[in-house]
Amino acid sequence: MTKNVSRPSPTVLFITGEYPPTPGGVGDYTANLRLALAGVGINSFVLTAGAAGGSDVRTVRSWGWSLLRSVPSLVEELGISLVHIQYQAGAFAMHPAVNLLPLRLRRRGIQVVTTFHDLRPPYLFPKAGRTRSALMLRTARWSHHAIVTNPADERVLDRAAIPVTRIPIGPNLPPPRRNPVVDMRSVAFFGFPARSKGIEELVRAVGAIDAERRPEVVLIGAQGTPSGNNDVVPATEIDWLAEAHDVIVRRTGLLGASETTGALAEAGAIVLPFRSGASQRSGSLLAALQTGRPVVSTMPGELDDLGALAALPQLLLAPTRGVESLRDAILAALHAEQSFSPLPEECRWQSIAARHRDLYRVMLAGAD
């Protein structure tokens, strides 16, 4: 009679272009996912760049070709069961080494899964968009498994006949404390003030509100540094635009997670007018939706892009890039009766961790 031998818990190496204390949505996601996975018995390490520290965090000086040699060595050194890449087009300094990493790991017999946080070509590189899109699809094919976070990216991989699992992301902030003091003369924007996130439309829409009813705009979080890898709007440009439209802009600067949630919950409304429409890609949107405050965002590209989030009563949607319609939605949010529903189960970290755990187990069982 054969005894059942319990399989040891896998150890996962996460590879991410950013990680706390460096601010960024993918880094926050990875940190939250690791914490939730630890709760279901999955140990993990992180490989990242920058000033992150700790015995479970390893860093690289740059995301160059040396990655193809260093990761297999790190897998052996740490006794890694599976490598999980957190991929975003603008991360990893735009170097293609990370795209080739799944092929290198596969040839070494190392299981690799890649979560694609965004399958859109990188901003500011329109001539390279087709090439980089093709490379991202190859990255998905070379991975043993591909994960996407939203229906729009799932459709892309489905059209390319690439097997994929969709696992939604969770909020990148904790829930707020109860009964915050709300300032109804303010609207909040959370995250790097990027053009693609509609920061310019927000300032113009607030400026189109009558002066006696015009709220101030509170920019919550780090300003970010404009570069060729992002579309962050410089602070001086935002200030010039605000002055031109007679809008008061107040910045909190980088805050801790609890302080950030508190600042969001104290705003009369939260406004995230994404130029491409709201989607399940955004941890900032999920964090805003759990605060209890009305959230104004923009209509998704497809009806199902928001999934169950579209039914939340605290979410108001305006057309993309429409200043007048955004102004009207902001006013409606500031005068709306409070109506709130919690995030759907699929967007809660316990559920997200359980789905990852189950996927890891299936992958590793198939590798035996």
Q: Is the pLDDT of residue 266 over 80?
A: yes
Give the pLDDT of residue 303.
76
Task: Tell me: pLDDT of 224 over 60.
Answer: yes
Window from 39-43, 76-80, 180-184, 233-237 with minimum mean pLDDT: 180-184
The pLDDT of residue 205 is 98
Task: Tell which residue, 258, 183, 175, has the closest CA to residue 217.
Answer: 183
CATH of domain 11-170+348-367: 3.40.50.2000
- Give phi and psi for 21, each to the nearest 5: -85, 0
**Six-digit token string for 306:** 């928001």
Q: Which helix (H) or strand (E) holds 34?
A: helix 25-38
Give the pLDDT confidence score for residue 262 in this predicted structure. 95
Cα gap 307→149, rounded to integer Å: 11
Residue 258: band (very low, low, confident or very high) from pLDDT cuts 50, 70, 90: very high
Give the closest residue to 98 by CA, choosing from 147, 50, 49, 56. Answer: 49
Over residues 124-158, the pLDDT tens digits come to 344 545 666 788 899 999 999 999 999 999 999 99
> pLDDT band for position 368 (50/70/90)?
low
Instruction: Calculate helix-pair angle for 25-38, 349-367, nearest 10 degrees.
Output: 80
What superfamily does domain 183-346 belong to in CATH?
Glycogen Phosphorylase B; (3.40.50.2000)
Average pLDDT over residues 275-288: 93
Structural tokens at position 83: 């490598």
Q: Look at residue 130 in the predicted model and tell me its pLDDT.
A: 60
Mean pLDDT across the chain = 91
pLDDT confidence of residue 48 = 95
Evaluate whether 11-170+348-367 and 183-346 have a shared fold: yes
Domain range summary for the chain, segments of one domain joined by +: 11-170+348-367, 183-346
Nearest to 105 by CA among 133, 148, 157, 70: 70
Is 50 exceeded by the pLDDT of residue 123?
no
Residue 166 has a pLDDT of 96
156's enclosing H/E stretch is helix 151-159
- Model confidence at 161: pLDDT above 90: yes
More confident residue, 193 or 121: 193
E strand or H helix at 83: strand 82-88
